[in-house]
């Protein structure tokens, strides 16, 4: 990759410490995309992590581990490593239930973070970072999280520890912070979105080298969608999922341009259906509930207390388990499905619940926003890291050499995706001021992998897309030359080229189809 080549070429020209940082950047370029799951305390982050991984492994009850950052990554053997602040590591087995132990048996004030290695195919393409919840954390938890995610404030020159000065190849805290962070973020919100979510998203989930979250590398989910009262949302028609979808759209407007989208999800149901938490015994208990009189069942489903305390043939303990796995909304959906199809199997019921959770849409969006452009996101994060490392070195020569090398790299045609991500970040952050309609167009072109969505014409005929992309390419070229400020012109040239490349791709694809008789 060109960014890796840049690092390799610069290593002999910079200080030993900066060169070591470049080595870490190169290692990260070859690793899976790192996605941090962040949000407020009790937003259901760990439950969602378990659903995404497909295994109930992250602790969801408040305990030691929920105060630590945990990185879930692929490994050939399942194991846990506790990483201490002094670099020591201690290996632990998973608990008998397959989860990370609630108590680690160490002084967590000395722990940097936890590494969990799982033989899980999902993690071959994405490392998932579970973070402590925002809002009511102790200062130590905040500090540990900021350090690992790269959002920590850099030390001032001269504040390095004495032992750092003895070894020029050892990364100081500033440099380590610059290359440590997550490259993308999944931000979890609930119905009660707070005014400072924007600031929390920007500060807490900053990507590598403190690059702020934006539509290129961040999406949000509205978790616990089943708890939304339909009557509180206009035009929901009494439907919980429609109410959640409407609310998610409103939240997207609030959180943009920091996130590409907000999607509703029911993390609890997703976790139970995807990680083996929903069993054939659960399906049988739901089948017993489905034969109750409508009036009785409706009364039981009014609240959790009534559901577990009501006298019926299904033991209270089993009903409590159902609540813990599905909550009242999931129980109702499952009972309705059984009544509609009495012969439905446990497997089919599990799949129905998974569909009802909204997890498939979240995974699809993760694939479009993150997976499809993982190389570009990692490369952009790597360039930010390289720049931060050069500045942290305190050597003006290092800074100039890195700056010149990056400018040469970005001038190359193959670096267009990086230029587009850079332009998108400049517009999304407000660093380049654009008219609202043009800002929206830049965000649309840069935030989507699908051509129809990029052009704002999903589902349009190919010829219409060909004509429109060429038309917009011409418009942006004219704007860059005649109507733009110097800063706007830089962005406009990148958008012009994006449209031109889309036109070229559509034209070449159409030509290939014609040549094969398509």
Rounded alpha-carbon distances, angstroms, from residue 77 to 45, 119, 124, 372? 25, 6, 13, 28
Give tens-digit pLDDT for 180-234: 567 778 888 887 655 556 665 655 444 333 455 565 677 889 999 998 888 888 8
pLDDT value at residue 202:
59
Question: In this structure, are residues 470 and 497 in contact, taking their beta carbons and an 8 Å threshold?
Answer: no
User: How far apart (Å, rounded) are the C-alpha atoms in residues 217 and 384?
Assistant: 14
Question: In this structure, are residues 7 and 26 in contact, taking their beta carbons and an 8 Å threshold?
Answer: yes
User: Under 8 Å CB-to-CB from 332, ≥6 apart: which residues?
Assistant: 301
pLDDT value at residue 289:
94
Answer whether residue 129 shows pLDDT above 70.
yes
Answer whether residue 150 shows pLDDT above 60.
no
pLDDT value at residue 198:
63
Answer whether residue 437 shows pLDDT above 80.
yes
For residues 158 and 311, the model is more confident at 311
pLDDT value at residue 152:
37
For residues 478 and 111, the model is more confident at 478
Ranking 161-165, 194-198, 399-403, 423-427 by mean pLDDT, the lowest is 161-165
User: Under 8 Å CB-to-CB from 511, ≥6 apart: which residues?
Assistant: none
pLDDT value at residue 193:
58
Residue in 508, 375, 409, 492 with CA at minimum distance from that of residue 451: 508
DSSP for residue 480: I
pLDDT value at residue 166:
34
What values do phi and psi take at 462, rounded to 5? -55, -45
pLDDT value at residue 171:
37
pLDDT value at residue 205:
46
144 pLDDT tier (thresholds 50, 70, 90): low
Alpha helices in 301-344 (DSSP H): 304-309, 316-340
For residues 450 and 489, the model is more confident at 489
Ranking 119-133, 294-308, 314-328 by mean pLDDT, the lowest is 119-133
Question: In this structure, are residues 146 and 174 in contact, taking their beta carbons and an 8 Å threshold?
Answer: no
420 pLDDT tier (thresholds 50, 70, 90): confident
Give tens-digit pLDDT for 341-380: 999 999 999 999 999 999 999 988 887 777 667 777 778 7
Give tens-digit pLDDT for 256-288: 777 778 899 999 999 999 988 899 999 999 999
Q: What is the token pair recorded at 8?
A: 């390799």
pLDDT value at residue 138:
52
Residue 257: asked if its preceding bond is cis (omega within 30°), the reply is yes
Q: ∠500-502-506 over CA atoms, to 5°?
A: 120
pLDDT value at residue 180:
53
Ranking 70-74, 286-290, 318-322, 401-405 by mean pLDDT, the lowest is 401-405
User: How far apart (Å, rounded) are the C-alpha atoms in residues 53 and 49?
Assistant: 6
Q: Please report, rounded to a whole number, the percentage of residues in the chain having pLDDT higher than 90.
A: 31
User: How far apart (Å, rounded) are the C-alpha atoms in residues 178 and 17?
Assistant: 13
For residues 193 and 36, the model is more confident at 36
pLDDT value at residue 208:
32
Q: Is 191 helix (H, G, I), strand (E, B) or coil?
A: coil
Question: Mean pLDDT score of the chain, rounded to an integer?
Answer: 80
Strands in 126-130's sheet, in edge-to-edge order, are 89-92, 79-84, 111-118, 70-74, 126-130, 33-39, 184-189, 218-222, 262-264
User: How far apart (Å, rounded) are the C-alpha atoms in residues 374 and 466?
Assistant: 27
User: How far apart (Å, rounded) are the C-alpha atoms in residues 426 and 210?
Assistant: 14
Q: What is the token pair recorded at 77?
A: 């053997």
User: How far apart (Å, rounded) are the C-alpha atoms in residues 375 and 107?
Assistant: 38
Range 493-517 average pLDDT: 76
For residues 423 and 428, the model is more confident at 423
pLDDT value at residue 284:
94
Q: Please report, rounded to a whole number, the percentage of residues in the chain having pLDDT higher than 70.
A: 81
Rounded alpha-carbon distances, angstroms, from residue 271 to 60, 124, 133, 309, 353? 11, 20, 18, 25, 10
pLDDT value at residue 199:
60
157 pLDDT tier (thresholds 50, 70, 90): very low
Q: 189-222 in b/e burial notation, b at 16+ Cβ within 10 A? A: bbbebeeebeebbbbbbbbbbbbbbbbbbbbbbb
For residues 252 and 335, the model is more confident at 335
Q: What is the token pair recorded at 507?
A: 């034209």
143 pLDDT tier (thresholds 50, 70, 90): low
């Amino acid at each position: 990759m060109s960014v890796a080549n840049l690092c390799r070429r610069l290593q002999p020209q910079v200080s030993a410490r900066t060169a070591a940082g470049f080595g870490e950047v190169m290692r990260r370029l070859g690793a899976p995309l790192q996605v941090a799951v962040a949000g407020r305390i009790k937003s259901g982050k760990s439950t969602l992590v378990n659903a995404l991984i497909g295994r109930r492994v992250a602790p969801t009850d408040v305990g030691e581990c929920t105060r630590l950052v945990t990185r879930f990554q692929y490994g050939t053997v399942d194991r846990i490593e506790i990483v201490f602040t002094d670099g020591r590591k201690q290996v632990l087995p998973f608990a008998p239930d397959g989860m990370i132990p609630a108590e680690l048996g160490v002084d967590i004030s000395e722990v940097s973070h936890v590494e969990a290695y799982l033989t899980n195919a999902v993690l071959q393409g994405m490392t998932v970072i579970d973070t402590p919840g925002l809002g009511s954390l102790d200062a130590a938890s905040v500090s540990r999280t900021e350090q690992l995610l790269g959002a920590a404030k850099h030390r001032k020159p001269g504040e390095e520890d004495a032992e750092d000065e003895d070894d020029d190849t050892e990364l100081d805290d500033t440099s380590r912070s610059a290359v440590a962070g997550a490259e993308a973020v999944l931000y979890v919100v609930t119905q009660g979105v707070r005014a400072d979510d924007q600031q929390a998203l920007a500060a807490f989930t900053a990507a590598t080298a403190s690059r702020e979250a934006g539509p290129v590398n961040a999406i949000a989910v509205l978790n616990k969608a089943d708890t939304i009262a339909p009557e509180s949302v206009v035009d929901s028609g009494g439907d919980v999922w429609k109410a959640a979808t409407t609310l998610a759209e409103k939240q997207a407007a609030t959180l943009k341009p920091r996130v590409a989208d907000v999607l509703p999800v029911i993390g609890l149901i997703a976790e139970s259906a995807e990680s083996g938490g929903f069993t054939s015994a659960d399906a049988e208990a739901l089948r017993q509930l489905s034969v109750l009189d409508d009036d009785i069942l409706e009364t039981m489903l009014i609240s959790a207390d009534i559901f577990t305390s009501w006298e019926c043939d299904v033991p209270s303990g089993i009903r409590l388990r159902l609540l813990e796995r599905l909550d009242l909304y999931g129980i109702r959906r499952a009972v309705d499905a059984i009544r509609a199809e009495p012969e439905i199997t446990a497997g089919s019921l599990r799949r129905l619940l998974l569909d009802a959770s909204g997890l498939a849409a979240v995974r699809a969006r993760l694939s479009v926003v993150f997976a499809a452009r993982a190389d570009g996101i990692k490369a952009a994060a790597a360039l930010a890291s390289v720049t931060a490392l050069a500045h942290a070195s305190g050597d003006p020569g290092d800074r100039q050499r890195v700056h010149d090398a990056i400018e040469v790299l970005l001038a190359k045609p193959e670096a267009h995706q990086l230029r587009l991500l850079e332009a998108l970040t400049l517009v999304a952050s407000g660093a380049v001021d654009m008219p609202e309609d043009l800002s929206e167009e830049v965000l649309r072109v840069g935030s989507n992998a699908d051509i129809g969505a990029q052009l704002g014409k999903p589902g349009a005929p190919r010829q219409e897309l060909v004509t429109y992309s060429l038309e917009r390419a011409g418009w942006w070229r004219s704007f860059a030359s005649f109507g733009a400020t110097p800063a706007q012109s830089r962005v406009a040239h990148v958008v012009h080229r994006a449209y031109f490349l889309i036109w070229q791709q559509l034209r070449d694809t159409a030509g290939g189809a014609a040549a094969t008789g398509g």
